[in-house]
Structure 1
Amino acid sequence: MRVLFSRLTLALGLCAAGLALAQAPTAQPVRIGVIGPFSGPSSDFGNPMLHGVQLAVEEINAVGGYLGRPLELVVKDDQGNPDVGLKGSQELAKEGVIATIGFCNTGVAAKSLDVFQNGQLPLIIPCATGTPLTAKFPAPQSYIFRTSARDAIQAPFVVGDLVKRGWTKVAIFADTTGYGEAGMKDVEAALAAKQLKPVHVARFPLGVKDLDKELAAARDAGANVVFSYTVGPENATIANGMRDLKWDAPQVGAWPLSFPFFIDGAKAAADGALMAQTFIAEPSNERRAAFLTAYQRKYKHKIAVPMAAAQSYDSTYLLTYALFSIRDGKFTGPAVKSALENITRVYYGVVSTYEKPFSTDDKDAVTPNMLVMGKVKNGAVTFAYPEDARRNLVVQRKK
């Protein structure tokens, strides 16, 4: 029996697999919504997110689903557009899904939050990292959960690394989307906690092709590092602009610096860039090796954005674990919300070992100890520090 299949069977503890044999083959499926940018400019991390969910559902259904009922995905493409995302969210709320996994873009998610909250439809965000997303509603009443690292922990983590390296003259380059706005504020707050202020701040719209003037101003202001906050090819515009100016300052940021838009768009100029990561696609232990192998076998290619796939894969299992505490199959919104807040069994995931990942007062599953610094090297992301690679042999738990 394959290692992956064996591990999953043991992890789920599926007494349900036995019960599944007694169920009719036409058992009513459990419908789960999935929404994200599966086309358009953000599809480079939207599709890995979708693939992570699909892979997990395939594995879960192979061992019985929910008490013999298969999980069924209802997929909506938000195209990275807030208005399209709102329409898709409203459709999901009408289509009988019991929960939704979704959103890669902070601005797209932000416009749809009220749909899930007002409809009492639990939402698990596996990719979008804007800090306000899980802070909009009081935690005890909130139906918004997250398994990605919010920017409020990514920014201090990266700033701490900069200070350790002696890079304290920081220029911030942030786009004008909701993601860039929230991220800029988190970086400024993280710097202030170290008694620092940015020496230069530049704002720019998505699609900008030339930032040479802003980069020259940052260089002339004495910046010795550029902290970028944007999700698209603009990160590459920054790296290429510094190369053209022959300005050899490091570029650092949150997880979008691990995206193909940056690495492929900047090529050699991307080398050495540093970013916060929860998951680096190296087979550092059995679970991660099994996940990477299963993904490669199913999709026939390497993961474009490994964090997106790993976090959505874990999100799907966490939701399933929660559902198994609802023995009567009555998946009301409050019942699923309560189940997510009170997951009793430990899930040995890819990103983390999840022991009580959510609670009534805390809807974010990722804590700072789960982060590592990633580094672009020869067109791929690896560990910035050898000690992180060694520490990564042990999957971290929430603190």
Structure 2
Amino acid sequence: MNDKGADRQVARRVVVYIPGFDPFPPRRYRELYRKEGSDQARLSDYDLSLRPAKSGWRVTANIEGAVVETRFEVLVWHDLVQAAMPGGIAATYWQMLRTAWVYFGTGAIWPLMRLRKGPVLAAFYPVAMLLGQLALALVLAWGVGALAALLLPAWLAVVPAIATVWALLRLFKRWDGKVFAHYLMHDFAYGAALRGAYPPDLEARLAVFGDRIRAAMAEGADEVLVVGHSSGAHLGVSVLADLLRQGLPDGPALSFLTLGQAVPMVSFLPAAGRLRGDLALMAGQGRIPWVDVSAPGDGCTFALCDPVAVTGVAPDGARWPLVISAAFSQTLSPARLAAMKWRYFRIHFQYLCAFDALPDALDAYDYFRITAGPLTLWDRMGARAPSKSRIATAVSRYRTLA
């Protein structure tokens, strides 16, 4: 790694946040940071205040005896997500069939199951829910049809049966904000649509993201920190790899933090050569320190799996990422853990939230110290050893690089 950022005191920082597959605009993340940051500041006895700004927010913090100004910018792609979420019920079922064909037909599903069961089960969940909803609708429709056959001609009795199926499926879709079957199906289908390749509109957006990061580096900040959560993790890998290929200017420390990544869901697919090449480049470069944080308690992530190594593209002398655990069982109280039980989406967002049993160690994972405190990411986390439970065995069938 370039040591220019070593022991650098941060007074000004820009955080560039790349969200996952989320149809909501940046305000959601601003409000989450405001609420959870206030809670963490109270729990950890430091000061943190937030004010809105265009495409993000600004934070003034007094942490570890230093005042730090941080500008947050959310790199938006929620419009692409919305476009990838078809409104029709039949379209969702077609996505389900096509996505299952991609993962099973290419054999990508079997290596994934050798890593972590949680995210694979998360992938099966929308399939099971959608098929269960359809089965229930068909059973009720059969009963309605049988009753209608007693009162109507046989050819006409099928009409209320079909109407029952359609009405129930529409009702289930209306309730999707509670069960997330359609949403998760759209999420998995998006990555599999081109068998791991990025669609053209996403490639164009990644280029815009790169421009925004380059512009942030020219603002005179001491650190530009790129944060990728969930699907935003592998998008961040590709954006930063592109910037390295183009040539980065001298300037502030540039750091990369990935949270709750599910990179193998895409990198294990046959046409993901672009992403695999980006992973290999990011693993071997010496300019951008990369810290990957996950937790076994998060069933939506490939917890403690080195995304480069398990994909089988780690170059000789690979340096990144530093894989560490957020250790939910140690950093959250039993009461908080109990309150989140079965709330899988809430757990998946815990990386962005307050921890109520956080140790006092300087290198403990604290999202708000990392993003608003006076140390660069590497100065804060770089002395940590990789997690002892880190998984680094290459298992992907597809390893070609673009």
Same fold (TM over 0.5): no
Structure of larger gyration radius: 2
Which structure shows the bigger proportion of residues in helix conformation? 2
Q: Which has the higher contact order (CA 8 A, sep 6+)?
A: 2
TM (normalized to structure 2)? 0.34
